[in-house]
Chain A
Amino acid sequence: MQIKKQSGFPIDFKKQTGLAVFIVFFFSLPFFMHNYFYQEIILLIFLYAGLGCAWNILGGYTGQLSLGHAAYFGLGAYAYALSVDSLGIIPAIILAWIIPAVLAIPIGWITFRLRGPYFALGTIAFAQILQILATDQLKDFTRGSAGLLVHSIMPQPQYYYYLMLAFFIVSFLVMRSVAESKLGYYLMAIREDENTAQVVTINTTWYKNVALFISASLTGIGGAFYASMLGMIEPVTVFGIDLSNEIVFLVILGGVGTLWGPLVGAVLLQLSSDFLKVYLGSMNIPLLSDSNAFAFFLYGLLIVLVVRFAPDGIVGVLNRWIRKWRTT
């Protein structure tokens, strides 16, 4: 029997090559591609892919279908927006990281008593409650649906490209290290069969809460970055159910519980909505005058078709093809 020799070096270079090439390529991209329109599309892809990675920790690896991630996103956005003027940028980002994570503890404590579809419905209810509170009861703080102006993190709008790239990479690395650690194996055990996981002495509630904690803190930071990029936030955009759904859609489209699924899904969705909006907007087709609605129509159709014909998502299908190609 042959035992593979482990290199003593702490970083496995072969494993990092793909990511390193990715980082170098996208870091240098703005130097030779000056079109700000394309940069903005790529930037949004990074934001959504980063949020997707954060969701994937809970929804993909732990198998807990959270449909209320807008709760943490909105908490992060409002935590940043309300504190940045008095505290400064760095403490505000730290607050946007801590507040959603801390609030995730009671939310998790309550919702993790529920399983399956009941859990999904419970998470929706929390996001909705926060949205209503921010719109109405806490209007004195949040200025309600009039919207809140947000101080920008970056001195120049072009730099947001790098901020979102950094957000995606951090989110991706956190997700990968969770997936490849002992914690990740516990989480996947919970996903496969929660009762069995409990029997083999995994404290399932604790590990689900840990997954939610990590996921919520990353989502909160994403919310803060988004708020500062947009310059103005209102409850319906940052707490709304559309945002929660979008995060879930892109991960499932790309491939739930896979490393590159969130990025693939974000690329597909962003391109399908943005390019369609622009190109259909320039054409004059009678029924398709509302290009925004048509883009979202195709987006919904894409989701339906993927679930119907490729329930494992795009990355799942690619993996299956690769496996088939290797065996034959």
Chain B
Amino acid sequence: MINNLSAKERLSIAREKMPEQDAALRSRNFAEVNLGLSLEQAMREAQRCLLCKSRPCVAGCPVEVDIPEFVACLAQGDLAAAAHALMRDNALPAVCGRVCPQEVQCEAKCVRGVRGLPVAVGYLERFVADWAMANSADLPGPPATVPSGKQAAVVGCGPAGLTAAGELATRGHEVTIFEALHDTGGVLRYGIPEFRLPKGIIDQEVRRLIDVGVRIECNVIIGKTLTLGQLREQYDAVFIGNGAGLPVMLGIDGENLKGVYSANEYLTRVNLMGAGQVFDSATPILRGRHVAVIGGGNTAMDCVRTARRLGAERAMIVYRRGESEMPARVEEVHHAKQEGVEFVMLTAPLAVLGDEAGWARALRCQKMALGEPDASGRRRPVSVAGSEFDLPAEVVINALGTRANPLLTATEPALKLNKWGNIETDERGATSLPGIFAGGDIVRGGATVILAMGDGKRAAAAMDAYLRSA
């Protein structure tokens, strides 16, 4: 029995490496970078797990996936049991296995990481989820539900909304998701590129929801097409998961020149509308030989790697702090480097310079040095006098982050917001209005997929209780 391996035997196994597409090749295509572990690799990696009684990894997971349980099943080659254990707590494991920042969550807590490398929980999650998708026909379907006779509306089809909808539907409530765009997935579809998260995976997850009875209506903008008040009248409870889609502007000269994009526009054109990916896509995108992306988060990495794939000779990250301060996932930074992305660190943008015809031609920059730590605990960048220089760039992408979009909240003054415009909720996701719950980026500000999902799940439980008591 594999799970009878001694601790010493387990400790002697080296962490598996994720097979990936060759860097030179992949920097010019949109196919997925990570190719996934083989069954042998996955089982060997699973055997590295010490099955700790104290389960620190579980505590590190925002939705508390039973990691030792699913990993133990995988180590024995019982994939159906592994899938069952994994999907009990995580509704979108194939997504999370690809985009969660495991290095600061489960893997950060893994005892094997104290000396050496943690168990590759993310790789294993992805492996089991992909297997479950490929074999869904042979797996037991969702348990039959008892209709509750109650109706719930969900605003937004991102990870928060999808999770809440799934949870509500399996509890027997009739659920309709209203999505403003013409397609599902939220940031998963319009933000995160195909080479990190294939769209086919989102399609399959959405299909599963539809199979459990969730209705999805695209092209409905709550606050415009229907008001929140109308939803409250027509439904017994409402979950708001409309995300944080409002770009933070650069606030520097030249930001309206031709060739200057916000990350949301750039990524939406490519990921949602197929610009530059599909040979004759109706949606245009500027390619640019030199592309400068301002920012150091996941969004910036996605933009710069997309720019490489659209043919940029020089695709650059311009970030005002140092590399260790960048908020992006470590793996993305690593992949970006392999793909030939240049990192222009400790550099702040001063202005976008244009030509006579209104096109961007360069980014005027200033060198920075790291001073004392600021409120965020990170060392504060301070400008170095006389260090201005120009970086040639025909395309400049602003990836400074997003804030709460006020479109919905502005039309419902009674909904309590915090000073940043995010919806205020209690720990169960209840807002100031009875029957209205919220979660994800609209509550937290730009956060992560798994936190949005956790919110959706918690709110759904609270909504279920509300619906049954009402």
Q: Are A and B physically bound partners?
A: no
Q: Hey, which bits of chain B sit against chain A, CB under 8 A?
A: none
Q: Hey, which bits of chain A sit against chain B, CB under 8 A?
A: none
